[in-house]
Amino acid sequence: MIMAPFLAVGGYGLADLYITSQDEIKNYKLFPKGPCKPVKDACEVEGVGLSMNIRFNEVPKSGEPLPITLVSKTRLDDIALSVVSAGTESVAVGARHGEYRKTWNTLPVLPELGNMESVSLRLAISEQGHMHFAEIPLVLK
């Protein structure tokens, strides 16, 4: 009974030490290097410690699945992406990866493509405990 207050204070101190020693997940923004033209295999994106190329394997069509390949220079843990057109977003999908987790393939079903000038790609990537996000305007012409 006499030890209970000391144990409570000690437990509180240890819990505080444990919580403050945990690393926060760091969030970073990704940026395109110039105009992003994924149909022409000319969409390079980079961020803190990352560099990748995004390619559409077909010309995008409204309501159709679109094969997308992302090739990174470094190993990635996971990827999710969606396509946004005229304020309508496709369902966000994950991707299958190659053996070294540098090549990723996915197949989102596109929303209704209105104005081809207002299409963007939303991308979320996890890599070594960090999260990288982007909304990249696309040039589809």
Distances (CA, A) of 38 to 60, 86, 98: 10, 18, 20
The answer to whether residue 19 sits within a structural domain is no
Tokens of 141: 């012409």
The answer to whether residue 9 sits within a structural domain is no
The answer to whether residue 82 sits within a structural domain is yes
* CATH number assigned to the domain comprising residue 79: 2.60.40.1930
pLDDT (0 to 100) of residue 1 = 54
pLDDT (0 to 100) of residue 19 = 54
Tokens of 1: 């009974």
pLDDT (0 to 100) of residue 16 = 58
The answer to whether residue 62 sits within a structural domain is yes
Residue 104 class from Cβ within 10 Å (0-12 exposed, 13-18 middle, 19+ buried)? buried
pLDDT (0 to 100) of residue 116 = 72
pLDDT (0 to 100) of residue 8 = 46
**In terms of residue numbers, what domain contains 101?**
26-137
The answer to whether residue 21 sits within a structural domain is no
Q: How many domains does the chain have?
A: 1
**One pLDDT digit (tens) per residue for the chain, 141 residues:** 555 554 444 455 555 555 554 456 789 999 999 999 999 988 999 999 899 999 999 988 889 999 999 999 999 999 999 999 888 888 889 999 988 999 999 999 988 887 777 889 999 999 988 999 999 999 987
Torsion, Cα of 76, 129, 37, 109 (10° steps)? 80
pLDDT (0 to 100) of residue 117 = 75
